[in-house]
Structure 1
């Protein structure tokens, strides 16, 4: 996650402060998910899949917009293509680690997340749109590529409409710490921004103080830090044993970055496929297909070793040794 504005450095303590603020933002958003579900009588898994990813992806949207307006097409597209890869290689292992840790402390019944098979459907559906991008290179076809981008946008809105279907919510009104939903949403976004920026800057300061290699730090540790803000709401649900809601957030994030953001980029004609992007998307597709199989048997996160292997492979290829084609 790139820094949008310079923030006052608080040194290595930024890691602790950043994680605290990020978790706080996640708790604010979790409350909002339950409140919106109750207030508008919508399925809580649907609200989690649509509302939470939009809020947690707001920093990436800001980076995409600023880069686009500045003419930095590569940065704009890179901010999009990185997410499906990071989800498959880092977020899934983070989910498993969170589940096991919560189980160890008696907060969960099962070691691994248990989900219903229906969760596999959107995960597969939002893996399929990546295939034509890789195989057909729609950016080469001018207006046809832009039309494909518009199609992806339409697919996401249809998905959102389906997920936000009406559902009778019997539980009482959800409690909001700040009482006003608009105020709590704004507070969550600001808190997440400061938390994310301090995590990254704190890790950099910690690496410098410990004499760690800056390149290795930036390509291995910093991306893991950026995963926390993007998936914090899902991880909180998982830690509480609400696996369907937690996985819905993760899948909703993937849906956003497999249809809406690529569709927007393609419709605007700011889409390129460099070898590094092709490799990242290919790894994301492979892991997602295996994850669909795992979900079909009722589990989520069994592909964590495959994802981690893919991440190590990618880092080795494009940063440490640069031997990938």
Structure 2
């Protein structure tokens, strides 16, 4: 998402500025979720699952589009594969950490994330489509891969229709800080983009000042900085004790990156299965299955965090430190 971009660096202060802007973007989007839910009489969980991920994924969509226009299929596909992997290994633990901190400060009633067991169903639905991608090699099954891509696009459309027609939303009239929805959307995207750029550049500046290894810094810290903008809406909901809305936003993000984006890439025939991509997909599928089993059996979300973090360390070891991988 962020890197050596067009946004000028402001040094180590970029971390604080980036966090503030990202939180502001999340609050703007949270208001939009409630506004759309009220205005169009849709359940907030459905709006959070569909609308919020579309906005928070806009930087990745830009990377995907630019990479395609420049003929960089590997980069375009990598930006897609990275999200399910990061969700399973980093985002789930971050959500759990936010819940624990919020509970410690008495902002939440429960220490852990309580969700309806039905959350496991969409998690399962959007984990299964990742598996066939591992065998649909473009050099062998190009036509079948493109057909499967169209199936994934259709699946996301059906999911969106289901979520947005699930039930009517209750509550009073919702207000927007910027009064107009389009203006608030634009402000949220701008704040999220600048926040992400400054967070990453700030982390790099701190690393350089402390003499930290750049490779280790990019593997350990920068992905965490880029995860925050992607999951900020979910983090805000969870910090307020609205677990169903928060988890719905995470599931919606996963749905987008497990069906719509890979479906588009496969339909266009620009996906590739390098070893790093295969490993990331396998890890995402495995951790997600464990998470699904925990949610279905106990009704808690995020308890796969230790496995996810261990998988992240394993992946970093394999592809940055020259370790042996499967």
> Matched residues in 2 for 1:186 and 1:283: separation?
35
Other-structure match for 1:43: 43
**Secondary structure of the equivalent of 2:172?**
coil
Report the Cα offset of residue 90 of structure 1.
Answer: 0.2
Cα distance in 1 for partners of 2:188, 2:4 equals 17
Please state whether the residue corresponding to 2:278 is helix, strand or coil. helix
Match of 2:188 in 1: 188
Contact 1:138 1:148 in 2 (8 A): no
- Shift of the alpha carbon at 1:240? 0.3
Matches of 1:262 and 1:168 in 2, distance apart? Answer: 31
Match of 1:92 in 2: 92
> Deviations 1:195-231 (Å, cap 9, x if unpaired)?
0000000000110011110000011110011000000
**In structure 1, how many angstroms separate the alpha carbons of the residues matched to 2:29 and 2:139?**
36
Cα distance in structure 2, aligned partners of 1:110 and 1:49: 22
Distance apart, 1:269 and its partner CA? 0.6
Give the match for residue 126 of structure 1: 126
Deviation at 1:4, TM superposition (A): 7.6
Aligned to 2:66: 66
User: What residue in structure 1 maps to residue 254 of structure 2?
Assistant: 254
Within 5 Å, give how 1:157-306 maps onto structure 2.
157-165=157-165, 167-296=167-296, 297-306=298-307
Q: Does the aligned pair in 1 maintain the 2:103–2:110 contact within 8 Å?
A: yes
Change (3 A) 1:79 1:102: same
Query: 3-state DSSP class of the match of 2:186?
Result: helix
CA offsets 1:73-114 (integer angstroms, 9 cap, x no match): 111100000000000000000001000000000000111100
Over the aligned positions, Cα root-mean-square deviation in angstroms equals: 1.1
Shift of 1:170: 2.9
Q: Partner of 1:315 in structure 2?
A: 316
Determine the structure 2 residue equivalent to 1:156: 156
Match of 2:108 in 1: 108
Structure 1 residue 8: deviation in Å?
Answer: 1.3
Contact 1:153 1:260 in 2 (8 A): yes
| Cα deviation digits, residues 104-136 of structure 1 (max 9, x gap) | 000001111000011110000000001111134
Please state if 1:10 is matched with 2:10: yes
How far has the Cα of 1:140 moved from its partner?
2.6
Contact 1:139 1:145 in 2 (8 A): no
Instruction: Give a deviation string over 1:271-299, Cα, whole Å, max 9, x none.
Output: 00011111100000011001111111210
**Structure 1 equivalent of residue 26 of structure 2:** 26
Residue segments in structure 1 that go unaligned for 5+ positions in a row:
none
> TM-score if structure 2 supplies the norm length?
0.98
Alpha carbons 2:192, 2:229 under 8 Å: kept: yes
Deviation, structure 1 residue 324 = 2.4
- 5+ residue gaps in structure 2? none
CA shift, 1:159, in A, is 0.2
Tell me the CA shift for residue 48 of structure 1: 0.2
Alignment coverage as a number of residue pairs: 325
Tell whether the 8 Å contact from 1:96 to 1:112 is kept in structure 2 after alignment: yes
